[in-house]
A and B are shown apart, each in its own frame.
Chain A
């Protein structure tokens, strides 16, 4: 499978804010945050089709998200996952001794994973601390 190395940032979006205020278990929140925005050229390089799932892996974890064309233009080489549960699966907790994690500007690899399923927010967070009781 082709793979591409990109620089990842995690930032706000109004869709994310609006969905979060409806509740984090709301389907809107899932739709707003389980996505990764990147440049079409980068998608092509890695053989990623628009609106298909990809595996994003950083130095500290990985997550399945849906690759979409950027809602706000990102240049080649840069990828963006909106802040929230999915982004924080891959955000490195290193703080440069300031208390603030590396939320933006960390290396990731992205590869197509069209057959993998997205996980819900609860599944990801409860799953990571051994509390998830639902199915896969």
Chain B
């Protein structure tokens, strides 16, 4: 009898939906149906059935072809390559669980590596602005239960976080928002008429990359001063009207995305957005939230902040203390300046999502990819090590976009012999200790591990 598993988490976008239902075959090896998830989540679960999923590490040979090798050999190569490198870069972690992120910290320390996550090319600028200006935020439940004005600034949830509007921001009927969408005024700020803009009551179609001026104009209006006739392509009256809507809100919620972090000004746009949020709190209650991308990209920010005190761009090369300075210690900047001599790609696809010039720089040195599937990063790697898929055949803790931790479960059995990220990193760490004749330092986490080392592996 196929089994219906409820309360499953979707390991794709920052909405981290945890109301998915998955029907699995009676031997728990195949996913038959996926309920409640959007098309992206559905495809993700079904893709786990793919019979061609890699089961063994693949190493590139001198002639350019790749050959399958046992895990033991892959772990040995991984450990030796990290130890030989002067300044390895370990990057990724958008799509894995917190257990894996924690385990990699030991390796990074041992290797004197730079540890970075996808925030660096995504909401990293938001972190920079938070360091400067704070983060007056809330959880998504508050938005659902209270927000009567919702602003989507430079984000397009209908495409990037498909169930965000139906679970948290527009449609749900909350405690103080029992009329759902009818009770909410939705504003969208975007240079394109996106599908989110089509849902909005007001669309401010600003000139691309002029968000900073528009934030400034809003703040100026809120403080009772005059603004030019047109700012960032938006007429004065329209800005005043929107500012009035936000000011009159009972609870105003601002969501922002790549339209602010990827454009000119980067962190300064977010800085202005946070200042606007603070200003609005003179008049009403207002909260701001970054539309974090991957389901657990808030995870490394949390885990590494506990471990090292910094959320990303963590330089551990000094051995005794960590250092962080994006622009200097970020993956792209290090790559472009040829400052790293080994690249480890974990739970991401730098091959596809880095600007191609950064990929070319990184590829001058050994490249190791840890990923459950074939991707661009695995197809240009010197070594590709398959692991289990967090949220599908490996459970674990993930952090939603509002930093709420959710326990994700495994719905099917993992491929025999394929370890989780955490198990793999622990084995690499042990091998590094063997090679350097040092005793492993296990933090309490190791003793409390829920998923002891899989004896089938090695």
A binds B: yes
Q: Do the beta carbons of B195 and A72 come within 8 Å of each other?
A: yes
Q: Find chain A residues with CB under 8 A from B209 CB.
A: 7, 104-105
Is B162 located at the chain interface by the 8 A CB criterion?
yes
From the candidates A14, A78, A95, A103, name the one contacting B192 in the complex (CB within 8 A).
Answer: A78
Query: Would you list which residues of chain B between 57 and 84 have a CB under 8 Å from chain A?
Result: 64
From the candidates A18, A93, A129, A133, name the one contacting B380 in the complex (CB within 8 A).
Answer: A129
Q: Do the beta carbons of A72 and B192 come within 8 Å of each other?
A: yes
Is A67 located at the chain interface by the 8 A CB criterion?
no
Q: Which of A12, A131, A133 has the most CB of B within 10 A?
A: A12
Is A101 located at the chain interface by the 8 A CB criterion?
yes
Is B19 located at the chain interface by the 8 A CB criterion?
no
Chain A interface extent, by class: 35 or more
Q: Do the beta carbons of A95 and B332 come within 8 Å of each other?
A: yes
From the candidates B120, B160, B351, name the one contacting A12 in the complex (CB within 8 A).
Answer: B160
How many Å lie between the Cα of A104 and that of B125 in the bound state?
Answer: 14
The main secondary structure of chain A at its interface with chain B is: loop
How many Å lie between the Cα of A95 and that of B194 in the bound state?
Answer: 26
Q: Do the beta carbons of B374 and A97 come within 8 Å of each other?
A: no
Q: Do the beta carbons of A100 and B208 come within 8 Å of each other?
A: no
Q: Find chain A residues with CB under 8 A from B322 CB.
A: none
Minimum Cβ distance to chain A for residue B233 (Å): 9
How many Å lie between the Cα of A57 and that of B283 in the bound state?
Answer: 47
Q: Do the beta carbons of B355 and A88 come within 8 Å of each other?
A: yes
Is A51 located at the chain interface by the 8 A CB criterion?
no
How many Å lie between the Cα of A11 and that of B41 in the bound state?
Answer: 19
Chain B residue with the shortest CB-CB distance to A16: B159
From the candidates A60, A99, A102, A104, name the one contacting B331 in the complex (CB within 8 A).
Answer: A99
Is B410 located at the chain interface by the 8 A CB criterion?
no
Q: Which of A18, A70, A99, A103 has the most CB of B within 10 A?
A: A99
Q: Do the beta carbons of A17 and B355 come within 8 Å of each other?
A: no
Known contacts A93-B332, A98-B327; A21/B356 CB under 8 A = no
How many Å lie between the Cα of A62 and that of B158 in the bound state?
Answer: 30
Is B373 located at the chain interface by the 8 A CB criterion?
yes
How many Å lie between the Cα of A23 and that of B265 in the bound state?
Answer: 34
Query: Would you list which residues of chain A between 74 and 99 have a CB under 8 Å from chain B?
Result: 74-75, 78, 80, 83-85, 88-89, 91-93, 95-99
Query: Would you list which residues of chain B between 30 and 60 have a CB under 8 Å from chain A?
Result: 38-41, 43-44, 47, 50
Q: Do the beta carbons of A97 and B376 come within 8 Å of each other?
A: no
Q: Do the beta carbons of A88 and B352 come within 8 Å of each other?
A: yes
How many Å lie between the Cα of A56 and that of B378 in the bound state?
Answer: 27
Q: Find chain B residues with CB under 8 A from A119 CB.
A: none
How many Å lie between the Cα of A62 and that of B379 in the bound state?
Answer: 22
Binding site for A on B (CB under 8 A): 12-13, 38-41, 43-44, 47, 50, 64, 120-122, 124-125, 128, 156, 158-160, 162, 191-195, 205, 208-209, 258-259, 261-267, 313, 326-328, 330-333, 335-336, 349, 351-360, 363, 373-376, 379-380
5 nearest A-B residue pairs (beta carbon): A99-B330, A97-B327, A73-B193, A103-B262, A99-B326
